Amino acid sequence: MKEVTVEELLAKAEQPSKDAMRLHPFYRGKVEVIPKCRITDFNDFAIWYTPGVAAPCKEIYADKEKVYEMTNKWNFVAVVSDGSRVLGLGDIGPEAGLPVMEGKALLYKYLGGVDAFPICVDTKEPEEIIQFVKWLQPTFGGINLEDISHPKCFHILDTLRKEMEIPVWHDDQQGTACVTVAGLLNAVKIVGKKMEDIKVALIGAGAANIAISRLIITAGVKPEHILAVDSKGILYRDRGDRETLKTKYKEKWHICETTNPKSIKGDIKEAMEGADVVISASKTGPGVIKKEWVQAMAKGSIIFAMANPVPEIWPWEAKEAGARIIATGRSDFPNQVNNSLGFPGIFRGALDIRATKITDEMCIEAAKELAKVAEDNGIHEDYIIPNMDQWEVFPREAVAVGTKGIEQGVARIKAPAEERFKLAEKIIKKTREQIQFLMKEKFILDPDKK
């Protein structure tokens, strides 16, 4: 087999951006609204609109829960962002963040059969975002907070989860953490180690890694085996900025209190020394993680370099330095640890039980099911987590999430697992068949064919 050069790998990595600049203006957006009801002639509008629509309105007024039966609320999710932390691009604003939110809505629909709406708001004030999301509650069955900077994202999420009657989810926290745990469960198996024994270096202490720390501990990693690094170095109890951490960055302070009992000091280099696993959700690379630091890790090392659009270290560089398993957030490299494997199936499961919230335990069950799907197909160093084209991932994940939600008492519907699997499978297959039909009939155009 022909050996691939570094130049060829770099060209492959840059191709998605080139294609995006060609195709985004061609389609002028990625999602649209189309009817789901029959329209045989104009008389049907008397049913779908006035005067007929008054009857379901009255029914819902008498019993608010009927809105789930009379409207599409049961399948609506709002993807809400202020554009303050978009991918690895930072605070680029709501307009520049809209392509990402549209992409998120597209993935929700294609992978989970969920009708998601991209909503970018022109405010960065946490209390205004909280109030805005609360105002959306009558229309939506769930809320996906997206690309909101920390620390305000924690306050927004925690407040809304407490005060709303529908699930509110921050994908940069819970989604990334769920998929990371799934990949880690299988990676550890491959290298012959145990979760309770591994030493983990968390590079970056933002929303993603703070949530990841919480979930990997729930999954079996010991807090005393974790070193977390932010822009000022390794977190520990007696760091010079401890008072600032206590008052402004409470989630980071919690990491200071629960990890690094030996108060190890230093930066990324020192945190990685002797580590079994590096989980990096830091600034975009390459070069954030250096090859010599990888060489200093434990034998059979595992690296999750998840910055987008460019990982903190290129996978081939990590391999050359001795890492055994490398994962990134990109779909064009092996082992994509990407939220796209989590949120469509997780929300499918939450919506199908009309959940009031998505708990950490529901996320762990999703992670376990993701890991199990990959294991069923034969895990190896370049396959620790399913690919997005394995459609069965999403209904299986949905069932696992729904079952845990029912068990925890956050479900309005308690249908059997088999029934929920068939429902999720039907909804997801329908979406894919619709898109294939629209492409075949040229309602969705091929940009390469005139």
Which CA distances in Å does 365 have to 345, 348, 370, 399?
Answer: 12, 14, 9, 10
Q: Which domain holds residue 125?
A: 32-171
Residue type, 249: Y
Does 25 fall in a domain? no
Q: Which residue has the tokens 């991932």?
A: 393
pLDDT of residue 1: 40
| Domain shared by 235 and 349, yes or no | no
Residues 6+ apart with CB under 8 A from 3: none
| Domain shared by 244 and 142, yes or no | no
Does 5 fall in a domain? no
CATH number for 232: 3.40.50.720
CATH number for 118: 3.40.50.10380
Task: Tell me which residues are annotated as active site.
Answer: 49, 104
Number of structural domains the chain divides into? 3
CB atoms within 10 A of CB 243: 9
Which CA distances in Å does 136 have to 67, 140, 143, 414?
Answer: 14, 6, 9, 25
Question: What are the pLDDT tens digits along the chain (450 aa)?
Answer: 456 676 776 777 788 889 999 999 999 999 999 999 999 999 999 999 999 999 999 999 999 999 999 999 999 999 999 999 997 788 999 999 999 999 999 999 999 999 999 999 999 999 999 999 999 999 999 999 999 998 899 999 999 999 999 999 998 888 889 999 999 999 999 999 999 999 999 999 988 899 999 999 999 999 999 999 999 999 999 999 999 999 988 999 999 999 999 999 999 999 999 999 999 998 888 899 999 999 999 999 999 999 877 899 999 999 999 999 999 988 778 999 988 899 999 999 999 999 999 999 999 999 999 999 999 999 999 999 998 888 999 999 999 999 999 999 999 999 999 999 999 999 999 999 999 999 999 999 999 886
Q: Which residue has the tokens 């924690």?
A: 154
Does 19 fall in a domain? no
Contact 196/276 with Cβ under 8 angstroms?
no
| Domain shared by 73 and 145, yes or no | yes
| Domain shared by 86 and 207, yes or no | no
